[in-house]
Amino acid sequence: MKAKAISIHSARGGTGKTVIATNLAMILAKKGLSAGLLDLDFRAPSLNAIFSNALRDKPKFWLNDYLNGQCTEEQVMIDVSRNYNVEGELLIGLANPGVEAIRSILNKSSAWEVTAVKKMFALLCKLFTEMEVDCCLLDTSPGIQYSSINSAVSSDLTIAVTTMDSLDLGGTENMLANLYDALSRKTVVLVNKYSPETRTFKGEPPEAVASRVENALKHPVIGVIPCFCDVLQRERASIMAVYDPKHPFVGKIEEIAKKLEEMF
């Protein structure tokens, strides 16, 4: 796999971006690759909680500090490979969950955002060259916000995650047409939480759903993940690929990882 940056984005919240990004990064690391995972959801950071077991102390530097020019690329990335006994490597960059940090990022000027996108490119360049990362996943904020657009602009591919809810699909269609196509970004769609029991799609197999979504959104569909009630009932901070690797949800993410490897 050539070194690639992949953004995980969605038009609206609650589509499962973070769960998908975390499990995907873990699966790549378990396969022997060197994976990076960045929390770019500065408004509602969550990777710090997901990886809290792996972090003995509070991180010295957050991605917020890096974008503010207060630390280097090496200082902001945390190696958690040993904690999960993966064959490859897993490096994570966390967003500061503190209220003051969130307030500060909300008040940044558009000029600061320009510097932030340049810093993102510099971080990815360092990860791919000197730190030998094979694939870096960028977990973003939902909707059209600077952090998510900056992430999409600096990525080689964006995975737009949607459910089959009409609001999600409509938002994704709008985002694909008015943002990703306008910026000429390579984008694929991932349908999550698909339930064949819903009234509109009663009995339709995932392949038919993928084809229907592809026709409607005019972008390739990389996968359709069924809605697993037990996944929804679990703590979101538990990484399925670690604690229940044989679960069919993990199997679906492994299929997506394989497709990504084939793409690059």
Partner 1 sequence: MTEDVSNAEQSEILGRTFSLFQLISQQLDQLIRMSEKLLETQNQFLTSVNNRSVEGFPPDTLSLLTLPSSLRKTVMALYKLQKATAEDIAAETKRLRGMESAWANQLVRMGYLKKVREGRRVYFYIEPAPEMKK
Nearer to partner 1, 15 or 151 (CB): 151
**Interacting residue with partner 1 among 103, 182, 200, 262 (CB under 8 A):** 182
CA atoms of 184 and 187, how far apart (whole Å):
9
Mask for 47-86, x = binds partner 1 (CB under 8 A)? ---------------------xx-----------------
Q: Does 200 bind partner 1 (CB under 8 A)?
A: no
Amino acid at 200: T
Interface with partner 1, residue 115, by CB under 8 A: yes
**Among positions 178, 195, 230, 243, the unique one binding partner 1 when judged by CB under 8 A:** 178
Q: Least distance in Å: CB of 140 to partner 1?
A: 12
Crossing angle of helices 206-217 and 166-175, in 10° steps, is 40
> Cα–Cα distance between 93 and 138 in angstroms, integer?
10
**Is residue 139 within 8 Å of 18, Cβ to Cβ?**
yes
101 is an interface residue for partner 1 by CB under 8 A = no
Nearest to 140, CA basis, from 38, 239, 48: 38
By CB under 8 A, tell whether 113 contacts partner 1: yes
For residue 149, the one-letter residue type is I
Q: Distance between CA 87 and CA 241 in Å, rounded?
A: 14
| DSSP state at residue 64 | H
**106, 177, 183, 216: which one contacts partner 1 (CB under 8 A)?**
183
Tell me how far apart the alpha carbons of residues 172 and 75 are, in angstroms, rounded to a whole number. 35
Q: Taking the complex as a whole, how short is the minimal distance between the CB of residue 120 and partner 1, in angstroms?
A: 8
- The answer to whether residue 150 forms part of the interface with partner 1 (CB under 8 A) is yes
Q: Which residues partner with 187 through β-bridges?
A: 158
Q: Is 107 in the site for partner 1 (CB under 8 A)?
A: no
- Point out which residues bind partner 1 (CB under 8 A): 68-69, 109-115, 117-118, 121-122, 125, 144, 146, 149-150, 153-154, 178-179, 182-184
